[in-house]
Structure 1
Amino acid sequence: MAKPKGRGPVRASIYVRISRDLTGEELGIARQEEECRRLCARLGFEVGEVFSDNDISATKGKVRPGFEALLASQPEAVVCWHTDRLVRVTKDLERVIALSVNVHAVRAGHLDLSTPAGRAVARTVTAWATYEGEQKAERQALANLQAAKAGKPYTAGIRPFGYGEDHVAIVPAEAEAIREGASMILAGESLSSVARKWTQAGLLSPRSIAAGAKAWTLRGVKKVLTSPRYIGRRTYRGEVMGDAEWSAILDDATHYAVVSILSSPDRFSGGPRTGRTATTLLAGIAVCGVCGETVSGRGYRGTKVYGCRQTHTRTPRDIADERAEKATLARMVWPDFLPPVLAMHAGGSDADTAHLRAEMKNLRERLNGLALAYAEGAISLSQMTAGSEALRGKLEEVESKLSGVTGLPPLDSVSGISGLIEGWADAPLPVRRSWVAFCTIVTLRPANGKHARNMTPEDHVSLDWHHLAGDGEE
């Protein structure tokens, strides 16, 4: 209510607001407050509380803490730079009208909300402000759409992680972190592992820094690794518009493989995650000693482990991998190993296609993952289409290789088994996986109440050899 006469000067509350603060220095609201104070001095008002909302729109339905505090304070009068700083929509105006106070604006004059005439004027002014706001929004939306179709960057906001202030130039250290993060996800590691690595490297996102955050969130990491921005695509409201003016950081196949993994409806904390079967040595090969299910790679309390779906076992990956590789190499040096292997090569066996078939299976799972992600609304139709094309191209490449391969896992015709053993450490993961699967039966045992530090490698891993045809076994 307005202050009764004879009780000293009016104590006015100042309200200031800007919709966007590009620098974060609050210079806009500081200038508004300065002019509002000068108006109070001219009107003979005593300045009371100052309420502000920085970088908050009055038309998008967001809560304005300063505005809410102003209403709750029951001011004697309100002074603002312009009435559209105070209200832009009718519903907010009606809340101010309920105060029955005078509103004085530096640039829009005086509104006496305690009278019918004043309220009518205020409603008219607000109606036109709403109209202009809607018109401006439509014009801006059209301009944004045209810029998106042309592949131009949206430079009004904070720069994206991986790119410079112009939103185009690549920041090398951040780009490398993005590539490494994608590789970690493809290798079966978690979003939290990527978040920790980026945080420990001191590579926070510019938006997080502006917000005062000190670490990456899982949501932030996922947003980066699934954004089409990083394969050089321009989006608008979630839809890919086409090629962008900036350079890509990730290749299409890697990006969409990561999208498939992170967007899969089957993915949840602590459970199985898609896309892991061909990215660790024993995932999909070793079996759980309790349920007989093949294991997948995952993390447990900061340690990389293998485990089945029911987590009967959490076997450290380094122990299991070392045991399996040693057993595979040991099998290869036995005198009875080479003759049947050469015979199987000569006979055109399909055993050496194991790594290619595993890769094909992996790619098909990722294609299915994209379809599921689209069905669940996690990605758009354009993302699913582009991702499917990228993964199908890779699938065709693998299928082409497969069509020209016969026999066992790849074996150099000159260096033979000795060459494979000597170069084992540098052999591609699919090659090592295929030989491990060909030579060994790996069973991972549960702890059965033992502490991990008290368990030997033999306690963790049980190994048997596959017998070859012609080696004396039925």
Structure 2
Amino acid sequence: MKIAIYVRISEDHTGEGRGVRRQREDCIKLAGLRGWTVVEVIEDNDLSAAGTRFRPGFERLLELMSTQQVSGIVAWTWDRLERNRRDSLRLIDAGQKSRSVISLVRGPEIDMTTPAGRLSADVLASVARHEIELKSERKRRADEQAAAEGRKIPGGIRRFGFEHDMTHRPVEAEAIRWAAKAVLAGTSLGRVASEWDARGVVSPMSKRNGAPSPWRAGSTIRTLRRPTLAGLYTFRGEIIGKAQWEPIIEEQAWWSMQTLLNDPSRRGTIQQLLTGIARCAISDCGLPTTWAGPHATQPYFRYRCPNVRHYHRKVHPIDEYVVRELLDGLSTPELRVQRARRIILTDTDLTATTDRIYRELAQLADAYAAKELSLRKMTDRTMNLNIELNAVRRAAADVPRAVLLRELITGLDGIHAWNSLDIQHQRLVVDSLMSIKLRSQGRGSQVFSPDSIQIAWRN
């Protein structure tokens, strides 16, 4: 009798298909004992039969049966063949029409030509699905217990920055800390991705062929958005409290970074010092400055008001004047310290407040589970706590940025220190210390006039 062998493994994390090879060897041995001729060995590796994904091997098996190229199938167990109702019905129907026999290494031999054989197949399929549902329920309960205790849910890929046991992987953790500081300073995600590639840090998420994927802005932002970096635990997409592992970056810094990452104005990288910072000096305008590139009649970069009738100004002399005024105002250590102290740091103990809120949220969940609290009371109290938590998070978001600004300002001891900063750091310093307004110098004027720029130091 001509038969086909079907093998499948639902998860093969090594990618080496060892489970499939073991199944194949036992199936070939069984076929040999029965004196059957193996026409084809069909393999679906690393594809689960429980879902709805297309399985090319399974489709090939049905094709061989329907065209009567084989009159029998050998598999390891029934749940290697299928574990969803749709595929079960298709397999039983194909077996009946092709008058096939299904023989299992760990199971009976089923004659699909008889009602008793088809009943046996249906019962085996139902038992397999029942076992999957029980396994899924056990995993769900285990995951809920792990979430309640702030532990990592078992399984899954390694998180970037962490080992499998959630201890830090030093090189990756340092790259994340650098990225957090860079994003808070205004560095683009594309530049962060390029820096990570240059450092040789590789994401645990790799291509199907095993080759590491280069970092992109999209994969970088997804990584930096993960609450696990701040030692926060999530369950079903919601942050539910502090985790048991050590954070890579402080929670306040992480929330501050999320505020910046959610800012729609971050699209693209601004390359001009005063774009969006300086404003139009005309009293009824006040729009933020945009910029335009060189063209045939004006071969230089220009600042301009969105209302094009108000001004078009050369970038270079304006930037030069603003930087000179800035450094003059920071010319001594005393002046730099004085300016830096005006960057406000909150005095609220934000960490203690968030810890208290997380504890109260956990207590509410426990009380509701123990039926000591009604759903309405739990929902109302949870909503109020979340409002308080969001207010604390907004306050926390400003703290790391303020600390960074103080460091940048106190270190500006001259033009060389200024030139060592990238454009995003420079913009951050100017925007925090100065209010700048631009106006036209008048039609045809070619000589730069400082009177066309209004600069006021922020209090």
**Same fold? TM cut 0.5:** yes
1:79–1:104 Cα contact (<8 Å) kept: yes
* Cα offset, 1:181, TM superposition: 2.4
Change (3 A) 1:78 1:389: farther
Question: In structure 1, what is the equivalent of residue 93 of structure 2?
Answer: 98
- What is the identity, as a one-letter code, of the residue corresponding to 2:177? R
1:14–1:51 Cα contact (<8 Å) kept: yes
Question: In structure 1, what is the equivalent of residue 115 of structure 2?
Answer: 116
2:277–2:431 Cα contact (<8 Å) kept: no
Question: In structure 1, what is the equivalent of residue 178 of structure 2?
Answer: 180
Change (3 A) 1:319 1:389: farther
- Structure 2: distance between partners of 1:52 and 1:70: 10
Question: In structure 2, what is the equivalent of residue 253 of structure 1?
Answer: 252
* Cα offset, 1:431, TM superposition: 8.7
- What is the identity, as a one-letter code, of the residue corresponding to 1:91? R
Residue among 34, 44, 56 paired with 1:53: 44
- What is the identity, as a one-letter code, of the residue corresponding to 2:172? E
- Structure 2: distance between partners of 1:239 and 1:201: 32
Question: In structure 2, what is the equivalent of residue 221 of structure 1?
Answer: 220
Question: In structure 2, what is the equivalent of residue 390 of structure 1?
Answer: 393
Say which SS state the counterpart of residue 42 (structure 1) adopts.
Answer: helix
Say which SS state the counterpart of residue 206 (structure 1) adopts.
Answer: coil
Alignment size in residue pairs: 376
Are 1:66 and 2:61 counterparts?
no
- Structure 2: distance between partners of 1:33 and 1:316: 74
Change (3 A) 1:194 1:394: closer
- What is the identity, as a one-letter code, of the residue corresponding to 1:61? T
Say which SS state the counterpart of residue 266 (structure 2) adopts.
Answer: coil
* Cα offset, 1:235, TM superposition: 1.9
Change (3 A) 1:356 1:172: same
2:256–2:401 Cα contact (<8 Å) kept: no
Say which SS state the counterpart of residue 72 (structure 1) adopts.
Answer: helix
Are 1:170 and 2:163 counterparts?
no
Change (3 A) 1:187 1:468: closer
Question: In structure 2, what is the equivalent of residue 32 of structure 1?
Answer: 23
Stretch moving more, 81-90 or 429-438: 429-438
* Cα offset, 1:391, TM superposition: 2.8
Change (3 A) 1:40 1:324: farther
Question: In structure 2, what is the equivalent of residue 408 of structure 1?
Answer: none
Are 1:273 and 2:286 counterparts?
no
Question: In structure 1, what is the equivalent of residue 199 of structure 2?
Answer: 201
| Map 1:74-473 → 2, pairs under 5 A | 74=65, 76=70, 77-100=72-95, 101-166=100-165, 168-208=166-206, 211-263=210-262, 267=264, 272-273=265-266, 282=274, 284-287=276-279, 293-294=287-288, 324-329=322-327, 388-393=391-396, 425=418, 432-433=429-430, 437-438=434-435, 440-441=436-437, 464-466=452-454
- What is the identity, as a one-letter code, of the residue corresponding to 1:118? G
* Cα offset, 1:148, TM superposition: 2.1
- What is the identity, as a one-letter code, of the residue corresponding to 1:193? R
1:15–1:79 Cα contact (<8 Å) kept: yes
Deviations 1:383-440 (A, max 9, x none): 99756423324559999xxxxxxxxxxx99xxxxxx97699749996994268625x5
- Structure 1: distance between partners of 2:44 and 2:343: 59
- What is the identity, as a one-letter code, of the residue corresponding to 1:392? A
* Cα offset, 1:123, TM superposition: 1.0
Deviations 1:225-252 (A, max 9, x none): 1111101122222122322221111222
Change (3 A) 1:460 1:433: same
Say which SS state the counterpart of residue 17 (structure 1) adopts.
Answer: strand
Question: In structure 2, what is the equivalent of residue 301 of structure 1?
Answer: none
- What is the identity, as a one-letter code, of the residue corresponding to 1:82? T
Say which SS state the counterpart of residue 52 (structure 1) adopts.
Answer: strand
Q: Name stretches of at least 5 consecutive residues in structure 2 with no aligned partner.
A: 292-300, 347-382, 403-408, 441-445
Q: What root-mean-square deviation, in Å, do the aligned CA atoms of Structure 1 and Structure 2 show?
A: 5.0
Question: In structure 1, what is the equivalent of residue 349 of structure 2?
Answer: none
- Structure 1: distance between partners of 2:195 and 2:260: 19
- Structure 2: distance between partners of 1:186 and 1:387: 19
- Structure 1: distance between partners of 2:257 and 2:18: 41
* Cα offset, 1:139, TM superposition: 0.9
- Structure 1: distance between partners of 2:125 and 2:388: 45
Change (3 A) 1:218 1:26: farther
1:252–1:387 Cα contact (<8 Å) kept: no
Residue among 33, 36, 44 paired with 2:35: 44
**TM-score normalised over the length of structure 2:** 0.66
- Structure 2: distance between partners of 1:327 and 1:308: 21
- Structure 1: distance between partners of 2:5 and 2:304: 63
- Structure 1: distance between partners of 2:288 and 2:63: 62
- What is the identity, as a one-letter code, of the residue corresponding to 2:175? A
Deviations 1:279-306 (A, max 9, x none): 99645423589x9742589xxxxxxx99
Question: In structure 2, what is the equivalent of residue 348 of structure 1?
Answer: none
- What is the identity, as a one-letter code, of the residue corresponding to 1:229? T
Say which SS state the counterpart of residue 205 (structure 2) adopts.
Answer: helix
**TM-score normalised over the length of structure 1:** 0.64
- Structure 2: distance between partners of 1:324 and 1:156: 55
2:253–2:397 Cα contact (<8 Å) kept: no
Say which SS state the counterpart of residue 44 (structure 2) adopts.
Answer: strand
2:11–2:48 Cα contact (<8 Å) kept: yes
2:438–2:454 Cα contact (<8 Å) kept: no
Change (3 A) 1:243 1:275: farther
Deviations 1:127-148 (A, max 9, x none): 1211121111101110111112
- What is the identity, as a one-letter code, of the residue corresponding to 2:266? R
Say which SS state the counterpart of residue 13 (structure 1) adopts.
Answer: strand
Deviations 1:338-372 (A, max 9, x none): xxx9xxx9xxxxx9998659x9xxxxxxxxxxxxx
Deviations 1:11-50 (A, max 9, x none): x222111222233321111111111111111122222222
